[in-house]
Structure 1
């Protein structure tokens, strides 16, 4: 049952919303978390938690439980069929989490939900937001069943099609095109590729991400011109045949689940409108290349939870600080996608550039830090050096 009043109302119980609530609970504030779904989803798009994000999650007691459930990936590789163009090792990262953690988003959500429960919080379901009346002292949220909740602050963590963002009148800018079309699946596959690394295959038709998961399946994500409504194993076999290894080709032996989705490159015009704040996909969406989306959302969430606990001035800094970081990530993800689909005339130059980066340790380390999601310190986030000391001490 919904309370009639709350200090913080978090709309959306995905990774971002849960992380906001866990962060607030650590500061002694109980948020009301609602979600329109009756049960948490068992399938998900995100499959990696990067080291920079794990360092941030360490501060809210979530990194180690996550690390215990996931597969520790030692490196990230970029390939053009059988040619290895670039290897980015994570063993020199400025962190004690010197790996990319491969784990289903559903597992990430489960760990966050367990942590929230341990701190005395919970998720209320199913409650669908239908209205939001904002005034100088807060907002009144209205729900489909007729219930209302009065809140001092409302957090929109309800995804790309955010109802909170829409009701608050916050713009969501981006190209007018229909967006990139993706296929995604967890498959069982016979493969000679190493099971301790993520592979990004470059192809004229777009990128193919190959990421092993702890249960023995492999997460495949690929851009396609026209995604079928109900993807089958044969569609992913065709993608592997078209973009994957040639000398020792992969063979799909089973399909755990599959879906299609479409992604625009968009960012909210503001992360704050009075008592309404945005985080995660409600604030920014982009290509999954590089696995940056959920990671940026989780870092948004901890920064926002800290800012809510600190007060209104910190919330202004949150909105000011986080949006430029999202712009940079959107540019990085778009660049990876363009790199994958370089026209034939430019592919030799692209491949030479990648092989050169791979041969230069300083350049390789910089790319590793960038992929791992380490952010420059801002007024609302501790520096990486301070976080590293805290993590080591813990």
Structure 2
């Protein structure tokens, strides 16, 4: 049952919403998390958790259980059929997690839900947001006929965010891509190594081959017009046209499949009064590099810690600083993902030069290390630490804050 009042109301129980709720709950904040779905999704698009995100999740007690259920990928390879163009190693990353963790988004959500339950919070379902108003005392949300007054409302309800729309925040960007993408989890007979993901750059377009736990493989490919539910025959043709030649893959089973188109949009504000955005509600972009869910989880921890500081007596200005940090970062990540997409989908006339460039990068260790740091998110770590600065006045680092709320964590 919904409460009549809460300190923080979070709309949307994907990875971003779950992480924000967990961050707040561990700081002793009263938080209510709702989702319009009756049950959590069992299929998902995100399939990689990068090193910096795992470090962030470690602070919430969610890193270790997630690692235990994932597959460690120690490198990322770029291939032209059987020819290896570039390998980006992750095993030398300056992190306690020197790898990319391959794991389905549904598993990531399950682990976060379990940790949230341990903190005494459960997801309330199904509740659909139908109205949102705010005043000097906070916000009033209408959820399927019920009314909840909250001091703060956080929109983590995705690309079609109702929170963002009701708050009147524009969501702008360039025209959507004309290309469509095939997405599928399959079981395949393959000679490709399972300790690393690969992208095949082919005449028909790129094909991503990424191992997942339990012998599954995630396939992502650009196509002119993807069918609603790509079947085994369609996926086999993509592998035959773009994948390895000498020892070709054979699709044995399609576990699930879907299609999508590229979007690149960023909200024009991440805060309007007591309404805040995080994750896909605030930014969406190309899936290249697996940056989307990772950025959303990091948004969520930043926002959760900032909200906890404000509720502990810090100034509201801290939330403006959150927005000022995260929105430019969303632009930067979206630009990086776009550059990767353009590289992978280069027109035929530019592909020979692209392949020469990739082979050149492949023999330059500093260049490969820089790419690994960028993909892993570890470049963001120093920037984030510097941006957060000291705890606000009245909040004791690592100790209880005014009103009994725990203070800023010393390991942040």
Fold shared, TM-score > 0.5 on shorter chain: yes
- CA distance in 1 between counterparts of 2:260 and 2:347 reads 25
**CA distances 1:343-391 after superposition (whole Å, capped 9, x unpaired):** 22221211111111111111111100000012142455489xxxxxxxx
Change (3 A) 1:277 1:294: same
**Aligned counterparts of 1:141 and 1:109: Cα–Cα separation in 2:** 25
Does the alignment pair 1:188 with 2:187?
yes
Aligned twin of 2:403: none
Q: Deviations over 1:35-65 (max 9, x none)?
A: 0000001111001000011111111111111
Instruction: Encode CA deviations 1:299-357: one digit per residue, 9 max, x unaligned.
Output: 11111101111112221111000111111111111111111111222212111111111
Report the TM-score, using the length of structure 1 for normalisation. Answer: 0.94
CA distance in 2, matches of 1:76, 1:120: 39
Q: Establish whether residue 134 from structure 1 lines up as the match of residue 140 from structure 2.
A: no
CA distance in structure 2 between the aligned counterparts of 1:140 and 1:180, rounded to whole angstroms: 40
* Equivalences, count: 384
Say if 1:256 and 1:31 are closer, same or farther in 2 by CA, change over 3 A.
same
Instruction: Name the counterpart of 2:232.
Output: 233
1:64 maps onto 2:70 in alignment: no
Shift of 1:134: 1.6
Is residue 90 of structure 1 aligned with residue 90 of structure 2? Answer: yes
**1:324 corresponds to which residue?**
328
SS in 2 for 1:355: helix
Secondary structure class of the residue paired with 1:351? helix
- Consecutive unaligned residues of structure 2, counting only runs of 5 or more, are 311-315, 391-410
Summarize the alignment of residues 73-222 of structure 1 with structure 2, pairs less than 5 Å apart.
73-144=73-144, 146-177=145-176, 180-222=179-221
Distance change in 2, residues 1:315/1:83 (3 Å): same
Task: Quote the residue 1:386 is aligned against.
Answer: none
Counterparts of 1:99 and 1:176, CA distance in 2: 34
Instruction: Give the whole-Å Cα distance in 1 for the aligned partners of 2:101 and 2:213.
Output: 10
1:308 has 2:329 as partner: no
Pairwise CA distance, 1:204: 3.9
Q: Deviations over 1:200-243 (max 9, x none)?
A: 11234432111111110101111221111222111111111121
Query: Aligned residue for 2:262?
Result: 263
2:399 aligns with none
Contact kept, 8 Å, 2:49 with 2:100, in 1: the verdict is yes
Checking the alignment, whether the CA contact within 8 Å between 1:303 and 1:380 is kept in structure 2 is no
Q: Are 1:249 and 2:248 an aligned pair?
A: yes
**Do the aligned partners of residues 245 and 366 (structure 1) sit closer, same or farther apart at CA in structure 2, a change above 3 Å counting?**
same
- Which position in structure 2 is the counterpart of 1:345? 349
CA distance in 2: counterparts of 1:313 and 1:357, whole angstroms = 44
Residue 179 of structure 1 deviates from its aligned partner by 5.5
CA contact (8 A) 1:157 1:279 kept: yes
Q: Following the alignment from structure 2 to structure 1, what is the Cα–Cα distance between the partners of residues 57 and 388?
A: 12
Segment of structure 1 superposing worse, 42-51 or 334-343: 334-343
- The CA distance in 1 between the partners of 2:124 and 2:45, in whole Å, is 23
The CA distance in 1 between the partners of 2:268 and 2:80, in whole Å, is 37
Q: Name the CA distance, whole Å, in 1 between partners of 2:180 and 2:3.
A: 40
2:151, 2:67 → 1: CA distance?
35
The TM-score, its normalising length taken from structure 2, stands at 0.90
Quick check: 253-262 or 290-299, which moved more? Answer: 253-262
Distance in structure 2 (CA, Å) of the matches to 1:4 and 1:57: 31
Alpha-carbon spacing, 1:179–1:149, altered in 2? closer, same or farther (3 Å): farther
